[in-house]
Amino acid sequence: MGQTVTLHLQDSFYEPIQRIAQAMAQPIESILLKALQTSLPNLDGLPAKQIAELTQLETLDNTALKQLLLKTVLKEQQQELETLLQKNQAGGLTDIEQKQLAVLQKEVNKIMLQKARAAVLLRFRGQRLPTLTELRQLTTET
């Protein structure tokens, strides 16, 4: 079940949406809904624990979200991950190494999801995101 919302749109916002809706032969409501879904994608399909962690990010202020964009995997973990991935490609991982690889991949994926969600939330809030070059500079400074 959904919620009904009434919006009052300025002409400067409404007119391009109306043109897009006409060009796509779709109702304006569909275009607006797609725009909203794109700007703040849902978390369906993720495990409940991940959904809870990512939903918690919504309570952070912009400064904390920007700090999260700078989060990186420790160099030692990155090197270990690369070594294990190379060894895995060669087909030579032991059971212990396979478990290590799974743990490292899970940690890297968690960081990537947090960074992606932080970026989405910042954009949704109208904040400018740093470019990749700016992010690289910022992460090497910290």
Give the start-to-end residue ranges of the domains of the chain. 1-39, 46-141
Length of the chain: 142
Q: Supply the pLDDT for residue 141.
A: 66
Contact between 93 and 101 (Cβ < 8 Å): yes
Compute the distance between CA of residue 122 and CA of residue 71 in angstroms, rounded to an integer.
15
Q: Would you write out the chain's pLDDT as a tens digit for each of its 142 residues?
A: 788 989 899 999 899 999 999 999 999 999 999 888 888 888 889 899 999 999 999 999 999 999 999 998 888 999 999 999 999 888 888 999 999 999 999 999 999 999 999 999 999 999 999 998 988 888 876 5
Query: Hey, what are 69's tokens?
Result: 């964009």
Q: Supply the pLDDT for residue 32.
A: 92
- Structural class in CATH, domain 1-39: mainly alpha
Compute the distance between CA of residue 93 and CA of residue 83 in angstroms, rounded to an integer.
10
pTM listed for this prediction: 0.76
Q: Supply the pLDDT for residue 91.
A: 85
